[in-house]
Amino acid sequence: MIWTLSLSTQTDPDSTRMVRRLVRSIVNYEGGSEHEARALELALGEALANTTAHAYPGAVGPVSIAATFDRGTFTFTVLDRGETASTPTVPQALPDARKSLGLFLISSLVDYLEIKQNGNGTGRGVSITMIKRLREA
């Protein structure tokens, strides 16, 4: 099965909560295990929390989520339109100062994680792309 899904929402807690719950349901629907569904729910939740904290500190802003499912592999991209001075880097090991723990956690939950600045080509915004292949389906 191959499909794509696009969502436009905001970074307020209620909206981001709905998105992560939806992701968990989708993973379950596609035959993912509870373990995988919770992992992807958490990864999306952390990506949205990162967007909330860094793209729109102290405010609520727009965010879009693109999802693709292609023969057992999920790809999720979270894209904001905020101003970010520098692209966040993904720690390769547990950070000593326990900063960027959310990104480190995401990288441990998915098979591939990429963060790009100006991901939408407008000169603003950061995209977080996460790929995970279901293994327990």
Partner 1 sequence: MSNLLGIDVKQLPDAILLHVEGEVDIGTAPELREAMIAAIASGRHVIVNVRDVEYIDMAGFHVLQTGQQSVAGDQRFAIIASTPHVDRIIEIIQFRNVVPVLDSEGAALDFVRARHRSDENKMEMP
- The whole-angstrom separation of Cα 117 and Cα 84 is 8
Q: Are 130 and 106 in contact (CB under 8 A)?
A: yes
Q: Token match 């326990």: residue?
A: 98
Which residues ranging from 67 to 96 are in contact with partner 1 (CB under 8 A)? 94
Interface stretch with partner 1, choices 2-10, 34-42, 60-68, 70-78 (CB under 8 A): 34-42
> What string marks each residue from 51 to 70 as x (binds partner 1 by CB under 8 A) or -?
-x------------------
Cβ nearer to partner 1, comparing 108 with 118: 108
Supply angle C-alpha 9, 23, 89, rounded to 5.
Answer: 75
Q: Assess 46 for contact with partner 1 (CB under 8 A).
A: yes
Question: Which has the closest alpha carbon to 1: 43, 30, 26?
Answer: 30
Q: Which is nearer to partner 1, 22 or 68 (CB)?
A: 22
